[in-house]
Amino acid sequence: RGRKRKPDTQSENSQGNFPQAVSVAPDTIIDTDLTGLKLAALEMNKNLDLEKKEGRIDDLLRANCDLRRQIDEQQKLLEKYKERLNKCITMSKKLLIEKSTQEKQACREKSMQDRLRLGHFTTVRHGASFTEQWTDGFAFQNLVKQQEWINQQREDIEKQRKLLAKRKPPSSSNSQAPTTNSEPKQRKTKAVNGAENDPFLKLTLAEYHEQEEIYKLRLGHLKKEEAEIQVELERLERVRNLHIRELKRINNEDSSQFKDHPTLNERYLLLHLLGRGGFSEVYKAFDLIEQRYAAVKIHQLNKNWREEKKENYHKHACREYRIHKQLDHPRIVRLYDYFSLDTDTFCTVLEYCEGNDLDFYLKQHKLMSEKEARSIVMQIVNALRYLNEIKPPIIHYDLKPGNILLVDGTACGEIKITDFGLSKIMDDDSYGADGMDLTSQGAGTYWYLPPECFVVGKEPPKISNKVDVWSVGVIFFQCLYGRKPFGHNQSQQDILQENTILNATEVQFPVKPVASNEAKAFIRRCLAYRKEDRFDVHQLGRDSYLLPHMRRSNSSGNLQMVLGFNELYN
Asked whether residue 247 falls in the same domain as residue 276, the answer is no
Q: How many domains does the chain fold into? A: 3
| Of 215, 239, 255, the domain-final residue | 255
The answer to whether 414 and 363 have CB atoms below 8 angstroms apart is no
Instruction: CATH number of the domain at 319, please.
Output: 3.30.200.20
- The answer on 249 and 155 residing in a single domain is yes
Instruction: Please identify, among 351, 386, 420, the residue that sits at the C-terminal boundary of a domain.
Output: 351
Across the beta sheet with 462-463, the strand order is 431-432, 435-437, 462-463
List, in sequence order, the alpha helices (H) in 255-406.
Answer: 307-325, 358-365, 370-389
For 266, residues 6+ apart whose C-beta sits below 8 A from its C-beta are none
Domain boundary among 351, 385, 404: 351
Cα four-point dihedral sign 99, 100, 105, 108 = positive
Does residue 527 sit in the same domain as residue 461? yes
pLDDT 10s digits, 45-77: 888 888 888 889 999 999 999 999 999 999 999
Phi/psi of residue 399, each to 5°?
-70, 125
Q: What CA–CA distance (Å, rounded) separates 569 from 143?
A: 55
Q: How far apart are CA 246 and CA 238, in angstroms?
A: 13
Q: Any idea which residues carry the catalytic annotation?
A: 398
Q: Does residue 386 fall inside a structural domain?
A: yes
Are residues 499 and 548 both part of a single domain? yes
Residue numbers belonging to the annotated binding site: 297
Q: Give the CATH number of the domain where residue 534 resides.
A: 1.10.510.10
Q: Residues annotated as binding site for ATP?
A: 297
Has residue 473 been placed in a domain? yes
Residues 144 and 291 grouped into a single domain: no
The dihedral sign for the CA sequence 479, 483, 487, 490: positive
Check residue 19 and report its DSSP letter: B
Domain co-membership, 508 together with 531 = yes
Q: Please report, to the nearest 10 degrees, the dihedral formed by the alpha carbons of residues 355, 359, 364, 369 taken in order.
A: 90
Of 527, 514, 566, 564, the C-alpha closest to 543 is: 566
Check whether residue 119 and residue 231 sit in a common domain.
yes
- CA–chain centroid gap for 264, Å, is 23
Tell me, yes or no, whether 237 lies in a domain.
yes
Whole-angstrom distance, CA of residue 510 vs CA of residue 478: 11
Q: Does residue 388 fall inside a structural domain?
A: yes
Amino acid letter, 424: K
> Do 273 and 319 have their domain in common?
yes
Whether residue 120 is found in the same domain as residue 153:
yes
Distance, CA of 118 to CA of 556 (rounded, Å): 50
Give residues with Cβ within 8 angstroms of 38, minimum separation 6. none
Closest CA to 131 of 142, 141, 139, 123: 123
The dihedrals phi and psi of 298, each to the nearest 5 degrees, come to -100, 115
Distance of CA 553 to CAs 51, 428, 515, Å?
95, 45, 16
| Residue 432 CB neighbour total at 10 angstroms | 12
Whole-Å CA distances, 144 to 148, 228, 544: 6, 13, 49
Both 423 and 306 in one domain: the answer is: no
Looking at the fold, whether 203 and 330 belong to one and the same domain comes out as: no
**Continuous segment of H or E residues that includes residue 339:** strand 335-342
Q: Which domain holds residue 563?
A: 368-569
pLDDT in tens, the chain (570 residues): 444 444 444 444 444 444 455 555 555 555 667 777 888 888 888 888 888 888 899 999 999 999 999 999 999 999 999 999 999 999 999 999 999 999 999 999 999 999 999 999 988 887 778 888 899 999 999 999 999 999 999 999 999 999 888 888 886 544 444 444 545 445 544 544 444 555 567 788 888 899 999 999 999 999 999 999 999 999 999 999 999 999 999 999 999 999 999 999 999 999 999 999 878 899 999 999 999 999 999 998 888 888 888 888 888 888 888 889 999 999 999 999 999 898 889 999 999 998 899 999 999 999 999 999 999 999 999 999 999 999 889 999 999 999 999 998 888 889 999 998 888 888 766 666 667 778 777 788 999 999 999 888 788 888 899 999 999 999 999 999 999 999 998 898 999 899 999 998 999 999 999 999 999 999 999 999 998 999 999 999 999 999 875 544 433 444 444 334 444 444
Which has the closest alpha carbon to 243: 119, 135, 392, 90?
119
Distance CA(552)–CA(558), nearest Å, equals 6
246 and 329 together in one domain: no
- 532 domain-assigned: yes
Axis-axis angle for helices 517-526, 466-481 (nearest 10):
150
